[in-house]
């Protein structure tokens, strides 16, 4: 009985492999020609030309007229919870990051940037892959804001922490101190 079951399983496996396999070899360089009902010839090729500069197919080339933007991560309220939101700005500056925080409702529209400074802490850490140097200096930031107001539904301390975390993350700092004038 065991031999019989083993033979049936072997036969089922062979049939599955034969049934699921291809009937002919795929040749990507070959063209497939068919005749349409109206008598015209339809020729279909499977290999698309690629751009030698970037290796992408010609139909998948990036738009040369698209603007170049910087991607930023901003802390904002999403579904009643503080979350990281990826967005873009034309150029990553202190003011553009604050404008994005205002746009997403983390801080009020009256908040103004007075100054933002970074200073090296004197410590270093190992650089990541692709970096020019083997170590990088660790920096700390100081952000001074005026007319600060928290966004709708946020208390002032949570909004300040969201601003500090946003600046720390985007400017690759070890921390950021917020001073309100």
Task: Report how many domains make up the chain.
Answer: 1
Q: How far is CA 165 from the centre of its chain?
A: 19
In a domain, 135, yes or no: yes
In a domain, 152, yes or no: yes
Collect contacts of 4-10 with beta carbons under 8 A, ≥24 apart: none
Rounded mean pLDDT for each run of 10 residues along the chain, 181 residues in total? 91 85 56 73 73 83 86 91 92 94 93 92 79 80 93 90 94 92 88
pLDDT for position 97: 95
In a domain, 64, yes or no: no
In a domain, 8, yes or no: no
In a domain, 59, yes or no: no
Collect contacts of 154-163 with beta carbons under 8 A, ≥24 apart: 154/77, 154/106, 158/82, 159/106, 159/107, 162/75, 162/76, 162/82, 162/101, 162/106, 162/107, 163/75, 163/98, 163/101, 163/106, 163/107
Structural domain of 96: 70-180
Structure tokens at 137: 């200096």
In a domain, 20, yes or no: no
In a domain, 156, yes or no: yes
């Amino acid at each position: 009985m065991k031999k019989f079951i083993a033979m049936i399983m072997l036969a089922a496996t062979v049939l599955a492999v034969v049934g699921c396999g291809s009937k002919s070899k795929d040749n990507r360089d070959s063209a497939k020609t068919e005749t349409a009902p109206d008598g015209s010839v339809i020729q279909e090729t499977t290999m698309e030309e690629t751009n030698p500069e970037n290796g992408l197919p010609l139909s998948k080339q990036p738009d040369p007229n698209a603007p170049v933007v910087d991607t930023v991560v901003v802390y904002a309220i999403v579904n009643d919870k503080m979350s990281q939101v990826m967005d873009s700005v034309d150029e990553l500056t202190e003011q553009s990051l604050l404008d994005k925080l205002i746009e997403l409702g983390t801080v009020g529209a009256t908040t103004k940037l007075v100054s933002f400074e970074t200073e090296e802490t004197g410590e270093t850490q190992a650089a990541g892959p692709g970096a020019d140097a083997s170590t990088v200096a660790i920096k700390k930031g100081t952000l001074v804001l005026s007319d600060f107001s928290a966004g709708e539904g946020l208390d002032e301390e949570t909004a300040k922490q969201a601003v500090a975390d946003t600046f720390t993350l985007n400017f690759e700092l070890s921390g950021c101190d917020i001073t309100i004038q």
